[in-house]
Copies of this chain bind each other. A is one copy, B any other.
């Protein structure tokens, strides 16, 4: 920096001021300085800045499961966003089944100088639960929860709306007997998706039938069994909205085993646009969320909140930022089979298969 100052014929202080966009610097100087900065390829020394009082934010990121297909996007997104902000980020595994342990982990992070928490979905809800009585010690942001999480900011897609839309697409194709293979209610996203499913039916004055909804964990075989239950119902469903792509794959497997044509006889919709959505045959219509972009936004939001919180430790933000999703159409859905549409007027037309 000294070199830059000398080259530009000013003092170091002015250089510093220019670099920080401070108001008290003349136009003439500013340009001269910026020019030298470029030419000399000057880049400020972060350690010196920190030592001199600038304090960069340190974020903490808590995750539960490395095997979650989206955690890598969350890692990547937070890392790139954090490096842009010159922020540090330390990543830890958290146990969400033990509220006391989770509380302890979070307190320790706060004590160790971490000023903001990035909490991907199941962790966010668990943390909110663990700190139900007292507020969180530091600002936090929930990444991709199904609903806003109390006590922290939330960055999410409107999953309920997405489910509504995708089920409406099935309705537009003439389907009326639409089943839902629901995911575990411990995941708030699954609740949102279920709600969206119900709302879409009601919006067309179709009263949802409880037996058309079957729950399953996110395991392939359990999903196949649940799908079997749905496929044995009479009158048979002509479409199934699965709570995620794995479960949609289960539905397809169950359908193939029964020689039910997809999408000819059964339309299938998933959620998440995970790799399986492409790999499965036929390609799966599903809902895509850009986790990496969402996470980057989350980091930026959290950063602002941390700055505000530095000025006023009582600062809390529970802003809810909703980002767009995208419905990815692949061949797994088609028009409702004709026999079924007719069944609406004469329900006896159809005989047992």
Contacts and interface: CB of A to CB of B under 8 A. Distances in A.
Contacts of A224: 281
Contacts of A68: 72
A212 interface: no
Interface string A44-73: 011110110000000000010011110111
Nearest to A88: B88
A75 interface: yes
Contacts of A219: 278-279
A218 B342 CA distance: 42
Range class of the A interface residue count: 35 or more
Interface of A: 45-48, 50-51, 63, 66-69, 71-73, 75-76, 79-80, 83, 90-91, 93, 219-221, 224, 246, 253, 256-257, 274-276, 278-281, 292
Contact of A253 (B48, B75, B253, B278): B253
A122 B174 CA distance: 46
A72 B83 contact: no
12 contacts: A47-B47, A47-B51, A68-B72, A72-B75, A76-B91, A79-B90, A219-B278, A220-B276, A221-B280, A224-B281, A253-B256, A256-B256
B66 A73 contact: yes
A112 to B, nearest CB: 9
Contacts of A83: 90
Contact of A46 (B47, B71, B274, B292): B47
A279 B218 CA distance: 9
Contacts of A48: 47, 51
Contacts of A73: 66
Residue among A46, A72, A73, A221 with max Cβ neighbours from chain B (10 Å): A72
Give the 10 A-B residue pairs with the shortest CB-CB distance, closest first.
Answer: A220-B279, A221-B281, A47-B50, A72-B72, A47-B47, A75-B75, A47-B51, A66-B72, A71-B72, A219-B279
Given A47-B50, A51-B45, A72-B71, A280 B220 contact: yes
A156 B274 CA distance: 27
A73 to B, nearest CB: 5
Given A46-B47, A48-B51, A69-B69, 5 more contacts: A47-B51, A67-B69, A67-B275, A75-B75, A220-B276
Contacts of A257: 256-257
A187 to B, nearest CB: 16
